[in-house]
Amino acid sequence: MTAPIWHTQSGEEVAAALRTDALHGLDSAEAAERLVRHGPNALPRARQGSTLALIARQFRSLMVGLLVVAGGVALALGDVVEALAILVVILLNAAIGFATEWKAASALAALQGQAVATAHVLRDGAAHVIAAQDLVPGDVVVLAAGDRVPADGRVIQDVQLQLDEAALTGESLPVTKSAAILVDAQAPLGDRGNMVHMGTAVTEGRGCCIVTATGAQTEMGRIGALIEGVAEHGTPLEAKLAELSRALLVIVLVLCAVIVLFGWLRGNALLFMVEVGISLAIAAVPEGLLAVTTMTLAVGMQRMAGMGALVRRLPAVEALGSTTVICTDKTGTLTRNEMTVRAYTLGALRVDVTGTGYVAQGHFQIDGRDIDPAPLGLALRIGALCNDARVDRTGDAVSILGDPTEAALIIAAGKAGLEHNALHAAYPRIRELPFSSETRLMVTAHTTPGGGTVAYAKGAPGMVLAACVAVLGADGETPMTAEAMRQARAANEALAAGALRVLGLACRDLPDDFAHADLTRGLTFVGFVGMIDPLRDEVKATVARCHQAGIRVVMITGDQQATAAEIARQLGLDTDQQGRPLQAVHGSALADLDDAGWIRVASGASVFARVSPEHKLKIVEALQHSGQVVAMTGDGVNDAPALRQADIGIAMGIRGTEVAKGAADMVITDDNFATIVAAVEQGRVIVHNILRFIHYLFSCNFAEIVTVGGAIMLGWPLPLGVMQILWLNLVTDIFPAMALALEPSAPDVMRRPPRDPAEPLMTVAFGWLIVWQGALLSGCTLAAFAVGMRWYGLEGEGLRHAVTIAFMTLAMAQMLHAFSARSRSRSALTSRLFTNAWLWGATGICLALQIAAVEVPLLREVLRTVALSPADWGLVAMGALTPVLVVEMVKLMTGWRSRAARRFAEHPAGLPPAPDGGRP
């Protein structure tokens, strides 16, 4: 096309040009194969400059450098075997690092592949939902409020179509789009009113466009090419780990330098002590920490994805584990999202409707007796025609395209014999005002079979009543008096009190010249329709689980206050964890609140009904200002600001708009509240697993430093050789640590309070735990070494025998310590002893390698070990078992004191009162 398509060509001409010029006469399959070369997911991406991966590579480079120096020192000392062994360690270290990073990268890539954008297209006259990356030029895309535009396109149909193009043009206000040809052939991007562009968002109305460019050929794609080299910033968790690792690096290097100095002053050769110091530094620097952390995050995110929770941003993982408040929508999240019409009220008449789900089978009843639904004809017709949903049936399968509430109205009309397509043919739509969060009304204009024109409206009961000047009753149409308004409101409240979602129905005969008429005024009130969306079976138990976990659940809904309050009562949301009553607040009570008022209301409410998008944002901000970590769910365009503001925004994968998904940190593929809570649990597990292997790695590394340093201070020979230190670092550090990173959820993980995200990873108490347990491991190793020296002497083969005992004792003690490191407070000797198969597998591998270290002649030569006698093995077993027994005894005593303190706090007198008030 030589002329700009927004200037000289109509939508039909654009379509024809794309079919002939772009597709070159190929059939659709061949065209798709050739033209799907660039999709939205193929945009040039910013390089994933992960802070964790970068520092891990820096640490690995440092380790390789230290190993090369150690190998050079070994050669200088004439020990060729040791130098070759160090070369092997270099290769193994690199292989393990590569394997760990590859596993993490593969897991993250798999997760990215699951979050595929979709598009609604018309192909061969039928509607389809396809992956956005499968769009080709010439496809017709259907756009609706909340959609993110999947490709550049020329508008060919518009109904009050408005887009937010801020991401592309910087324009802060929504831009109106139309199918008209523009006059200016040189129109800048922001003024092309008949073009839509990939990445922008539909904020209002609906329309269709024909795809003109995809992927890297779009305007957004060209911008993406400019930012290809920009790296991402690190996450808070990454920053904490990086800071901890660097601090530990400095401490370790200083300690190793001190050990080298003291060893030299004690009479050991300087080069030998330098080699020992380098080996200790290699063993103590946690080069595996960052790689294992990355793997833990990736594997944890894969577990979440398997549950139906796709995490889009890494900081969300840490926020999940610290969540204190979940602000949730009701429809589809707490409920099944299977709306069913239960009742119609026409004046004083109430008609109940039987049947459930999306099957058009049921009866209309008054006081339990079936009736002819003819009196409901107008109400049923309004609900079915003022409606954008579609119900498609293929055999026994039913698929819903659109709002489930509107689908329920179509099903209700079908129960009365009103077929949807026949209704639309008899009452063709000629104008519409789409539903918006501001008006909370939808109005459509239709021609009637008699040649007239009528407007049908449905929406929030209060907004419908406010737009009505008349009411339809048994005597026909009468003015809307104060008494009629009171009766209508009472009928609405009666339906809402039964936990029904209520919509008002109204109509209006239109004059011939109605093009400029205000369709939201002068309506005649017809009645109400009450619908129910049954609660999910598991939600009540899940809410109770949140309370146990110290998480408050707040329901934010567009339903009426009475409906929302009744549902909250059924779910147990009307009280907090201590049983204190919480309020149900109407949106009207939030007007003109100052910051202190918002905090006060948000702190004491469990339900917010009839709220606006601005209210949702203010609720999240108020909760955050009161110190809460907030998770917020949402599905619509109007939810995007609150999703972005929340500590973790959660979009609904089924009914969520692309705008909401783009603003969210996590997408729930099944729209189920239980999945959100399961993701919170996994967020806690991930952080706890990171702390578990920090506990294990640091205590073991500290034990190795103290073992060598302590022996030097005591004037003893070195209890560990250079290759033995490197062996411990390679075998007993890495495998158990990686297994701890895969620890499953503990039974009490959701019975603990949320973790403070501002808390550092290494607290004083945690640091002290690592120090005393590392010292315990070291003390038992030195004790076994002392016995070995007493048994076999301090010279030649006897000293080598004692060193072997120390080496085996420390290795075995570290393996057993991994089981204690699974929990700081829970005993390892419980029914959960066998729940981590990875840890048992890692222990088995380490044990086999340790036995090989003293039984295989080649390894004995490299590691400078000897075969052990049964008495030696008994000494090793005693030294290895003692630390785990002491740690478990301390846990038992600490737990006993904690339980006693709680009992005393609850009953200061020492004994609980008897049930009858007398002495127990």
pLDDT of residue 775: 93
Query: Where residue 363 falls among pLDDT bands split at 50, 70, 90?
Result: very high
Query: Where residue 479 falls among pLDDT bands split at 50, 70, 90?
Result: very high
Pairing of strands 648-652, 501-510: unpaired
Catalytic residue among 164, 329, 635, 665: 329
The listed CATH number (3.30.750.200, 2.70.150.10, 2.40.110.10, 3.40.30.120) that belongs to domain 11-44+119-226: 2.70.150.10
DSSP 8-state secondary structure symbol assigned to residue 31: H
Is pLDDT of 34 > 90? no
Burial 696-721 (b: 16+ CB within 10 A, else e): bbbbbbbbbbbbbbbbbeeebebbbb
Is pLDDT of 245 > 80? no
pLDDT digits (tens, 9 = 90+) for 158-180: 888 888 876 666 565 678 898 88
pLDDT of residue 915: 44
pLDDT of residue 31: 31
Query: Taking all residues of the chain, what is their mean pLDDT, rounded to a whole number?
Result: 79
pLDDT digits (tens, 9 = 90+) for 331-357: 778 888 778 999 999 988 999 999 887
Identify the weakest region by mean pLDDT among 54-68, 198-212, 670-684.
Answer: 54-68
Say which residue, 206 or 234, is predicted with more confidence: 206
Residue closest to 127 by CA, chosen among 435, 411, 391? 391
Distance CA 665, CA 9 (A): 41
pLDDT of residue 839: 92
CATH code for the structural domain at 51-108+234-304+680-749+762-905: 1.20.1110.10
In the chain, the percentage of residues whose pLDDT exceeds 90 is 26
pLDDT digits (tens, 9 = 90+) for 274-296: 766 666 666 566 655 666 676 77
Measured between its terminal Cα atoms, the distance across the chain in Å is 93
pLDDT digits (tens, 9 = 90+) for 591-644: 888 889 999 999 888 899 888 777 888 999 999 999 898 999 987 766 778 888
pLDDT of residue 459: 93
pLDDT digits (tens, 9 = 90+) for 767-824: 899 999 999 999 999 999 999 999 998 888 899 999 999 999 999 999 999 999 998 8
Query: Where residue 94 falls among pLDDT bands split at 50, 70, 90?
Result: low
Whether 329 sits among the annotated catalytic residues: the reply is yes
> Could you tell me the CATH superfamily of domain 355-526?
Calcium-transporting ATPase, cytoplasmic domain N (3.40.1110.10)
Is pLDDT of 708 > 60? yes
Distance CA 361, CA 380 (A): 15
CATH class of 322-334+536-669: alpha beta
209 and 141 in contact (C-beta within 8 Å)?
yes
pLDDT of residue 20: 38
C-alpha separations of 537 from 571, 575, 608, 771, 825 in Å: 11, 20, 23, 48, 34
- Please provide residue 618's backbone torsions phi and psi, each rounded to the nearest 5 degrees: -65, -35
pLDDT of residue 68: 54
Indicate yes or no: pTM above 0.85: no
pLDDT digits (tens, 9 = 90+) for 861-898: 888 899 999 999 999 999 999 999 999 999 888 878 76
> Domain limits of the chain?
11-44+119-226, 51-108+234-304+680-749+762-905, 322-334+536-669, 355-526
